[in-house]
Amino acid sequence: MTVKREAWLTYLALVPVVAGVIIASGGEPSFHLFGFIMCVGATAARALKSVLQGILLSSEGEKLNSMNLLLYMAPIAVVLLLPATIIMEDNVVGITIALAREDVKIIWYLLFNSSLAYFVNLTNFLVTKHTSALTLQVLGNAKGAVAVVISILIFKNPVSVTGMLGYAITVIGVILYSEAKKRSK
């Protein structure tokens, strides 16, 4: 979309990232084809969003910074996600109110979670502005591998040897991508 070309070494470094994700997905103990297709679609949508963010943040005509972009995107996200939450989550408002009556800490948890989401989005915009949408996507794959490791350590989620191999290849690919970007500068 931006007609920006990367060095051939950068594209070569993306091969293990993609291959690692594919291997890890295939080695998932609870793999389901529909879920995999939805993940691929979500990844493509996230990539499109990152590219559009990069265009808006780097465009000379728009003069948007990360805070302004977040200010414009947050209300749209609320308008889209709030009805979906109310429809898909049975009695979510009633349950939240009941939990808040039982323990006021739930309000603090929700505020803390909202603050983290704000900072994650702001950080994503800053990474996109100062690097590229491609770098943000590669970091997203690294974040996924780290999340799996944490879920194994904390929640004892099962993972196959194939899945572990796939995540290791993904991390190696992220490191190779980082090195390729350094060399291309």
Q: What is the pLDDT of residue 160?
A: 86
In-domain check, residue 2: no
Domain count, the chain: 1
**Digit-coded pLDDT (tens) for 4-20:** 888 889 999 999 999 99
Q: Are 14 and 138 in contact (CB under 8 A)?
A: yes
Q: Is the pLDDT of residue 29 over 80?
A: no
Q: Global pTM?
A: 0.76
pLDDT of residue 145: 86
167 found inside a domain: yes
Is 91 inside any structural domain?
yes
Provide the sign of the torsion angle of the four alpha carbons 50, 52, 58, 64, taken in this order. Answer: negative
Which tens digits make up the pLDDT trace of 50-83? Answer: 999 988 898 888 778 999 999 999 999 999 999 9
**pLDDT tens-digit series, residues 112-129:** 999 999 999 999 999 999
Angle at 144 between CA 172 and CA 127, to 5 degrees: 85
Asked, for residue 1, whether it belongs to a domain, the answer is no
Residue 3 lies in a domain: no
